A = this chain, B = another copy of it.
């Protein structure tokens, strides 16, 4: 090429997306929200919107078929897709799947994969409405598009957090990352052994969180019942640090997260200690938890506590104050997101 060559790692994922999409101008009045949130928001009628999100999962990057049962993979793909719709405070209703199928994939593999898709769809009340099947010369590639609906007034963007808002979190973090580390460890230890017997006892929760995570559409229903609309919301795919920074960037604010309030499951802490990993790092940078981080005004505190199973882990601060992790001894550690580098 005559032009210079810039590596993608120099820009990072978000820098890259900004660079590529900044020139695009809007042509349609039905486009309410485009690039830059969990999902796009499109006008359906005067007061209603359709929310659309798209995600890919690539063999060798997002999953390894040596330890990912096809049924679990089907389930997880649905979770990944609908989680983005849920993170807009919309109810997911439809998905489409586009598959790239390599020659090593059999019909029986796809039967199992679709059984997982069907199970997840039924559980979430979502319809599979379309698809595309292509040959792939490389690995198994799955793309999911999820569609959901909400009243326009109910949608939670990343950009609505205000100073003093509470930062809330569903579930616990870091378990999915530790599940992956466990699978990688067992594969490494058992390589070359005939009929390997991996040791998974006592780690079942971690494996489930990695292999078969559930999207938190239950929260959306609870919030609607209580009439609470989060001022901002995002799902945890890249880790707590990255997601909080996304909210800060979009909402033009700072944040303080209290380290001792970050919920960790016992199995997460136990395996992390065994493997000499700081479990908080797993929570901050591990990702793939598919939990929801959302903000609500301070006065909603009692209502949030009443919902149950939600932790208030910090609060939003003024613009320019920065985003920090506050340790129990009162130190402020700057929150940092992990980078993005295409693999070799």
Residues of A that sit less than 8 Å from B by CB: 1, 3-8, 10-11, 13, 16-17, 19-21, 23-28, 30-31, 33-35, 37, 39-40, 42, 44-45, 48, 50, 52-62, 93-94, 96-103, 105-111, 114, 118, 121-122, 125-139, 141, 143, 145, 147, 149, 340-344
Q: Which residue of B lies closest to A145 (CB)?
A: B145
Question: Are B344's CB and A103's CB within 8 A?
Answer: yes
Which of B35, B93, B136 meets A342, CB within 8 Å? B136
Taken together as a complex, chains A and B put the C-alpha atoms of A204 and B84 apart, in Å, by: 43
Taken together as a complex, chains A and B put the C-alpha atoms of A99 and B10 apart, in Å, by: 18
Question: Are B127's CB and A28's CB within 8 A?
Answer: yes
In the assembly, how many copies of this chain are there? 2
Taken together as a complex, chains A and B put the C-alpha atoms of A58 and B136 apart, in Å, by: 7
Question: Are A44's CB and B50's CB within 8 A?
Answer: yes
Question: Are A28's CB and B93's CB within 8 A?
Answer: yes
Which of B19, B40, B98, B129 meets A94, CB within 8 Å? B40
Taken together as a complex, chains A and B put the C-alpha atoms of A134 and B344 apart, in Å, by: 13
Taken together as a complex, chains A and B put the C-alpha atoms of A343 and B109 apart, in Å, by: 17
Taken together as a complex, chains A and B put the C-alpha atoms of A92 and B3 apart, in Å, by: 34
Q: How far is the CB of A22 from chain B (nearest CB, A)?
A: 10
Taken together as a complex, chains A and B put the C-alpha atoms of A138 and B7 apart, in Å, by: 17
Which of B13, B53, B125 meets A27, CB within 8 Å? B125
Q: How far is the CB of A29 from chain B (nearest CB, A)?
A: 9
Question: Are B56's CB and A132's CB within 8 A?
Answer: yes
Q: How far is the CB of A19 from chain B (nearest CB, A)?
A: 7
Question: Are B134's CB and A20's CB within 8 A?
Answer: no
Chain B residue contacts of A341, Cβ below 8 A: 135
Q: A27-B126, A145-B145 are in contact. Are A93 and B42 (CB under 8 A)?
A: yes
Q: How far is the CB of A273 from chain B (nearest CB, A)?
A: 30
Question: Are B342's CB and A105's CB within 8 A?
Answer: yes
Taken together as a complex, chains A and B put the C-alpha atoms of A21 and B266 apart, in Å, by: 39
21 contacts between A and B (CB under 8 A): A6-B108, A7-B107, A10-B107, A19-B107, A21-B128, A24-B127, A27-B125, A28-B125, A34-B94, A34-B130, A35-B130, A54-B54, A54-B130, A56-B141, A58-B135, A58-B138, A100-B141, A103-B344, A137-B343, A143-B143, A145-B145
Question: Are B16's CB and A54's CB within 8 A?
Answer: no
Chain B residue contacts of A114, Cβ below 8 A: 20-21, 23
Taken together as a complex, chains A and B put the C-alpha atoms of A165 and B121 apart, in Å, by: 39
Question: Are B8's CB and A107's CB within 8 A?
Answer: yes
Question: Are A127's CB and B48's CB within 8 A?
Answer: no
Chain B residue contacts of A98, Cβ below 8 A: 54-56, 143
